[in-house]
């Protein structure tokens, strides 16, 4: 998998003793913490340099993260090169971003998939703090495109809607995935 095994033997044994429900709760807590750190960094950069600069930095980070995460998941789950759409979506659902999105709908066929986020924790947290909607289209598009293309260079990702686009109250973003020949 990698040069560094995930956790020490003692850490693995400690976690293996946990009941599966507690282990899953712990796992999702760690994913949530990853996103908390991401949000805190973003807010700090946004406060000091503005939303545009923070978004540019965030987009660059998540484009790189997409490649790293896609390739790591590909190795972990032993997925061949040139993954098909259902496989790309299966691995995307296992990504840190998707696992932190409990309000998602994925509809996939052999040659096309649509991912919809009906509620967004990031956006809801910003609005609750009195901040404006985060114009996340650039960040999310770069992440999803690089994730899919890392698994199959023929993958295309199309944004149907994502802030700063106007969107209905029950939909924050929607993305279409397909393969071109």
What is the CATH number for 121? Answer: 3.30.1380.20
Digit-coded pLDDT (tens) for 36-48: 999 999 999 999 9
Contact 34, 96 (CB under 8 A): yes
pLDDT of residue 159: 98
Report CA 93 to chain centroid distance, whole Å.
8
Please check the confidence at residue 170 and state whether its pLDDT lies above 70: yes
In a domain, 1, yes or no: no
At 7, is the pLDDT very low, low, confident or very high (cuts 50, 70, 90)? confident
Please check whether residue 2 lies inside any domain of the structure.
Answer: no
Identify whether 4 is part of a domain. no
Range of the structural domain that residue 86 is part of: 9-179
Within a domain: 41: yes
CA distance from start to end of the chain:
31
pLDDT reading at 6 higher than 80: no
pLDDT of residue 172 exceeding 60, the answer is: yes
Domain count of the fold of the chain:
1
């Amino acid at each position: 998998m990698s040069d560094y095994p995930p956790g020490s033997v003692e850490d693995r044994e400690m976690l293996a003793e946990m009941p599966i429900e507690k282990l899953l709760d712990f796992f999702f807590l760690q994913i949530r913490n990853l996103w908390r750190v991401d949000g805190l960094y973003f807010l700090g950069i946004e406060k000091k340099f503005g939303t545009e600069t923070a978004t540019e930095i965030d987009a660059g980070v998540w484009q790189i993260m997409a490649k790293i995460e896609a390739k790591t998941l590909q190795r972990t789950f032993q997925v061949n090169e040139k993954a098909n759409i259902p496989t790309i979506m299966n691995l995307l659902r296992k990504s840190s971003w998707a696992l932190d999105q409990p309000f998602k709908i994925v509809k996939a066929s052999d040659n096309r998939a649509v991912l919809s986020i009906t509620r967004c924790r990031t956006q809801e947290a910003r609005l609750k703090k009195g901040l404006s909607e985060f114009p996340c289209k650039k960040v999310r598009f770069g992440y999803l495109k690089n994730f899919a293309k890392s698994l199959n260079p023929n993958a295309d990702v199309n944004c149907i809607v994502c802030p700063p686009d106007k969107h209905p109250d029950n939909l924050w973003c929607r993305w279409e995935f397909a393969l071109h020949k």
